[in-house]
Amino acid sequence: MKLKINWGTGIVIAMVLFMIFILQFVYRISVYDKYDHHLVADDYYKDELNYQEQIDKEESANKLIENVKIIKTDLGLNIVFPKEFESGKISGEIKFLRPSNIKLDLKKKIELLTNTFFISSKELVSGKYNIIVDWQYDAKGYMYKTAYFY
């Protein structure tokens, strides 16, 4: 018995095979943990509402004579705040956000005796971090953002 396939049947077979091909990708993404698809920020919408405030803080920091500096040492990272500010009046938070793995994120409260904040190399893993230094001095907000490879 000879099976004869016309062009209409061939198109239907090709479409079915293509749909199976696409659906196997959808199955893999939804079932396997290897293909984790989470947002970078948990409070994405809340962050977007405060975006203008962040822009204002960044502009304030860029207007300073000297902005925040990040200096790598053998023992870790030194985050140096401007010398024009009194270190005891600086408060805020430093975030190390790891784009590749949210479990490696690090948040530190700023408490200074000098104008330098130290983070030990034991707390950081090699790779890319998005560093956000959100700080206040005399009720005025400042923000410094950078991508850093540790």
**pLDDT tens-digit readout, 116-134:** 999 998 998 888 999 999 9
Four-residue CA torsion sign, 100, 102, 104, 107: positive
Q: What angle do CA 74, 75, 79 make, to 5 degrees?
A: 100
SS3 85: coil
CB 119 within 8 A of CB 76: yes
* Lookup result for tokens 């016309």: 6
Reported as a single tens digit per residue, the pLDDT across 12-41 is 999 999 999 999 988 888 887 676 656 566
Share of the chain above pLDDT 70, in %: 93
DSSP per-residue string spanning 102-147: GGG-EEEE---SSSEEEEETTS--SSEEEEEEEEEETTEEEEEEEE
Distance (Å, rounded) from C-alpha 139 to C-alpha 90?
10
